[in-house]
Amino acid sequence: MPKVFYTQPDGAERVVDGKVGDSVMRTAVQNGVAGIVGQCGGVLSCATCHVFLAEGELDAYPPVSEDEDEMLDCAATDREPNSRLSCQLVLREGTDVHVTIPPEQL
Amino acid sequence: MTETTERAYPPGTEYPFGPRPVHEAAEQYHRIAADRPMTKMTMPFGGDVWVIHRNQAARDMLGDTRFVREPFRTGERVVPYFVEFPDFLKTTIQFEDPPHHTKLRRLVQRSISPKRVRAMRESAVEFANHLIDEMVSKGSPANLVEEYALGLPIQMLSNLLGVPPEDRPKFERWAASTLATANMPEERIANDMLELIGYMSGLIEERRREPREDLLSDLANARDKDESLTDDEIMPIALILIIAGFDNTANFISTGVAALLHHDAQRELLLTDVDGLMPTAVEEILRHGGWALGTPVGGGGGLVPFVATEDVVIDGQLIAAGEAVLIDPTAVAHDGIVLPDDAEFDITRQNNPQLTLSYGLHHCLGAPLARMEMQVGIGELFKRLPQLRLAGEIRWNRDHLSQPMVELPVAW
């Protein structure tokens, strides 16, 4: 069972057991992880599930698509090179994910 | 006297249900959600619709692309709803499906994104304080709806769209008229709509010639895969932004202030750290603000429905192809499953999965703007006037599509 490690802007960490096939966004929303809103449900139209993915895990996921790239530009907290929309990070068997939640989502 | 005999209406599992005390309404919603995920209800217009009661079932439906709105837009199906849906509202983006919906939405999203809204915050604070100055200078008491709650969203929307300041009073009148469902002559509504559309067309044309830093300029000059938007595509977007963009937000601000004036302990808590608590307070106002006013609550509300394109099972219940389904945002915020103590007004809730602004493909386009305006509008008011208090009866306009609060008498 993959684990998702969510680090809040103040450094507090929460670990959630995820389900293969679910996204990091869906896992957060279903478990009440603060700071990830995901209001569009994962259709790349709200930019409220922005996260910073651990540098060492960037290559473990498909690259940022054109649509995701456009929405990352709309995020409330300025994007960084390791910015992703967590709705696009899908959990895989045997692969844990470490993300940091930005200070502002809305 | 036992608790049972004190009840005017013992909570059951029938839906819809008439007004009853808040805790009884919550108890009834809990029983319904425990009993079944949804109820088939016959609406005053358009026939039957499934109304979803459970939060997770609502998210599952709203996130499922097999539910669409096209049959409403084409007229193939009447929209099952509480009032007859005006035709012009069925031409708006909320009745579009992908791929056209995706194209329109992306274009607007850039202009009303969290990032753009963050940049508008400072001017919202400034304008909120300007409105408070004017209200204070006129003296206590005041009708907060007229003197404050309407002014802020209108100003922000006008700024966003690019409506010149001198045109705002007539813009406001036309826009208000489009939402009237009774007590306004049809001829006047039609005239106001025509004037508003004519005015917006002129403004779009002007922005096409001389673009500025505003949403109408963005839309008028948009290029999406080398295809510009036509006026026919821009107008419904502008209209839905006008309608949803100030009327609903003004009502959320009024409701939020009224809720806090009804809850001394929560208001006192807010005053200890207004800026720090406003984000969670706003989510709680969206979820439960209407209930926090202490007036009896009935069950049977709902957001705009969808139609199933094929047989779909949600939470064990079959929704057959062609059937309509909607969510009751009040029910899903009080299902007794997603939140503990959901009948309590608690501005510190960290996990608040309310769906008042919907979810999925059709989540509220202006949600970041609405949230910012609520945070600023309610926050600045209590910072400036911490002694604010109710000074009379609250009044609503029930002859209006969104049934807004029209009088909130306050003193300071």
Q: Please write the tens of the pLDDT for every residue from B295-331.
A: 999 999 899 999 999 999 999 999 999 999 999 999 9
Residues of B in contact with A46 (CB under 8 A): 109, 363, 367
C-alpha torsion angle, residues B149, B151, B153, B158 (rounded to 10): 170
Query: Three-state secondary structure along B292-341?
Result: HHCCCEEECCCCCCEEECCCEEECCEEECCCCEEEECHHHHCCCCCCCCC
Per CATH, the number for B2-411 is 1.10.630.10
Mutate to test the interface with B, among A33, A49, A74 (most CBs of B within 10 A): A74
Q: Average the pLDDT over A27-51 and give the result.
A: 91
Q: How far is B231 from chain A (nearest CA, A)?
A: 23
Q: How far is B307 from chain A (nearest CA, A)?
A: 19
Chain A residue closest in CA terms to B108:
A45
DSSP, res B359: -
Contact check, Cβ <8 Å, A46/B363 = yes
Residue B8 in this model has a pLDDT that exceeds 70: no
Residues of A in contact with B63 (CB under 8 A): 41-42
Question: What ipTM does the predicted assembly reach?
Answer: 0.87
Chain A residue closest in CA terms to B366:
A46
The pLDDT-based confidence of B48 (bands split at 50, 70, 90) is very high
The CA distance from B305 to B69, in Å, is 8
pLDDT given at position B227: 58
The pLDDT-based confidence of A8 (bands split at 50, 70, 90) is very high
Residues of B in contact with A40 (CB under 8 A): 359-361, 363
pLDDT given at position B128: 98
pLDDT in tens, B184-197: 667 777 788 888 88
pLDDT given at position B100: 79
For B20-84, the DSSP string reads E-HHHHHHHHHHHHHH-SEEEEEETBTEEEEEE--HHHHHHHHT-TTEE-HHHHHTSS---BSSP
pLDDT in tens, A45-78: 889 999 999 999 999 999 999 989 999 999 999 9
Contact check, Cβ <8 Å, A39/B62 = no
- A100, containing H or E segment: strand A97-100
With contact defined as beta carbons under 8 Å apart, do B389 and B411 qualify? yes
Q: Where are the domains of chain B?
A: 2-411
